[in-house]
Amino acid sequence: MQPVVHFAVGLTSLDWILYLLAALLVIAGILGTILPAMPGLPMVFGGLLLAAWTGDFQQVGWFTVIVLGVLTLLAMGIDLMASLLGTRRVGASGWAVLGAAIGTVVGLFFGFFGLLFGPFAGALIGELLAGRGMQQAARAGLGAWLGFVIGSLAKLALAFSMLGVFALGWLIG
């Protein structure tokens, strides 16, 4: 195992810039796990891949990178399934699913509360446009909201798992 001090001494200016860029990608990616307009987990993966590449895959090898890639694909699948299952589980129409997606995007412009309530409002409006009653529309909104929250929490957990896998690969590598 290479000591951190020895690692830092051998870095060039370009290495420092690339590691800084990798760290910024990871941070932005973690934020992107909550902000639906950003590809959060692919950004985390890109940052970790850049860090491994900058170190010539000496500390973090290809096996670790492959595990990180699989976790990224898993997270993307979870993200898609959580939002679809959240609205479909309560018997929502396609309009509610579309409304939840639009509500999520529009919610971005209204900060945290917009992100939190945008999927609910969008699914509710979509269900009302589909000609469903208020009770079914509210159920669709709740399903969309739960899908968004559960999906975001799962992606956040996977992002931190990826950081743990990377750190373990660094320590073992």
Query: Rounded to an integer, what distance in angstroms lies between the CA atom of residue 62 and that of residue 111?
Result: 38
**Is the confidence at residue 7, as pLDDT, over 60?**
no
pLDDT of 36 reads: 67
Amino acid type, 133: G
Q: Which residues contact 130 (CB under 8 A, 6 or more apart)?
A: 93, 94, 95, 96
DSSP collapsed to 3 states, the chain: CCCHHHHHHCCCHHHHHHHHHHHHHHHHHHHHCCCCCCCHHHHHHHHHHHHHHHCCCCCCCHHHHHHHHHHHHHHHHHHHHHHHHHHHCCCCCHHHHHHHHHHHHHHHHHHHHHHHHHHHHHHHHHHHHCCCCHHHHHHHHHHHHHHHHHHHHHHHHHHHHHHHHHHHHHHHC
Query: Which pLDDT tens digit goes with each residue over 125-136?
Result: 999 999 888 998
Q: With a threshold of 0.85, does the pTM exceed it?
A: no
80-84, 98-102, 120-124: which has the minimum mean pLDDT?
80-84
Distance CA 21, CA 16 (A): 9
For residue 47, the model assigns a pLDDT of 97
Statement: residue 68 has pLDDT above 80: yes
Q: How far apart are CA 161 and CA 167, in angstroms?
A: 10
% of the chain at pLDDT higher than 90: 40
CA distance 26 to 13: 20
